[in-house]
Amino acid sequence: MTPTHTLTTTTTPIKKLRPHPSNPRNGDTDAIAQSLQVNGQYRPIVITKDGTILAGNHTYAAAMELGWDTIDTVTLDVDPLSAEAHRIMLADNRTSDLGRYDDGLLLSLLRELETLEGSGYTTDDLAALTHLVEAPDLDALAAQVGGVTDEDGLVRVVMKLPADLAETFAAEVEVHGAEAVARKALA
C-alpha cells in the first residue's frame, strides 16, 4: 500500500528547524540564495514534526544566510531517524540526479531570459550548452581534415576544433562516452 501524507503548507519560524544530521547531499547554497532573492520561495521544504528537514536542507541554509525569519514548510508525520524518513530524504536527493534535459529546449529557455540571475545558470553554462546544441557536423569536419582511419573495427575521427569547443566536446565525451556524443552530434 502506498503511504499517503496530508500536505498542508505552513509558515514556520526558521529557528524551529534543523538540518537532517544524515543528509548526504552537499548543495550550492549560494545559487539557492540567489534564486530565493530573485524568485522568492516557490516550494515548501519538507520537515518532520520535530522540525528536522527531510527535503530542502540547502534551501533552509540559504534562507538562514539571507536572514529570513520564517520559511514555508510541509510537515510529515514520520520519525526523522526512521527508514521512511531516510528514504524520503534520499529519494528527494537522487530523483533530481536521474533527470535529463532536452538540451535544445533548455538553451531556448535560457536565451529567452533577460538575465540568468536566479536561474542557477551562468554565462559559461550558456556558452557550453550553445556549443553542445549547435555542434558542428562531425562528418563535415572529418571530411575537411581527412582524418578517418579504420583501426580494430572502429572508425577513428581526427578533427581540429577551437579550444573552447574542444574542451566542451572532451567533457561531453567523458560524461556520456564518445559513441553517445557522436550519435547526438550526427542526429
* 182 pLDDT higher than 60: yes
- Average pLDDT value for residue range 97-122: 91
Q: Tell me the average pLDDT of the chain.
A: 85
Examine the domain organization and report whether 90 and 111 are in the same domain. no
Range of the domain at 130: 101-134
Examine the domain organization and report whether 111 and 183 are in the same domain. no
**pLDDT on residue 5:** 75
**pLDDT on residue 140:** 63
pTM score > 0.75 for this model? Answer: no
How confident is the model over 32-63, as pLDDT tens digits?
Answer: 999 999 999 999 999 999 999 999 999 999 99
Domain end, chosen from 45, 80, 98, is at 98
Q: In this prediction, what percent of the chain has a pLDDT beyond 90?
A: 53
CA separation, residue 3 to residues 6, 47, 77, 78, 88 (Å): 10, 16, 11, 11, 11
Examine the domain organization and report whether 107 and 184 are in the same domain. no
C-alpha cell at position 70 = 520564517
Examine the domain organization and report whether 41 and 110 are in the same domain. no
**pLDDT on residue 138:** 62
**pLDDT on residue 163:** 79
| Amino acid at site 147 | G
Helices 123-133 and 163-176, axial angle in degrees (round to 10): 80
Q: Rounded to an integer, what distance in angstroms lies between the CA atom of residue 41 and that of residue 30?
A: 15
How confident is the model over 144-174, as pLDDT tens digits?
Answer: 655 545 555 555 666 677 777 778 888 887 7
Q: Residues 47, 17: contact at Cβ < 8 Å?
A: yes
Q: Rounded to an integer, what distance in angstroms lies between the CA atom of residue 70 and that of residue 16?
A: 9
* Residue 2 resides in a domain: no
| Amino acid at site 38 | V
Q: Rounded to an integer, what distance in angstroms lies between the CA atom of residue 32 and that of residue 59?
A: 6
Is residue 89 classed exposed, middle or buried when 0-12, 13-18 and 19+ CB atoms within 10 A define those classes? buried
Residue 120: phi and psi, rounded to 5, are 90, -5
* Residue 118 resides in a domain: yes
4/19: higher pLDDT: 19
Q: Residues 156, 148: contact at Cβ < 8 Å?
A: yes
* 112 pLDDT higher than 60: yes
Number of domains present in the structure of the chain: 3
C-alpha cell at position 183 = 550519435
**pLDDT on residue 147:** 52
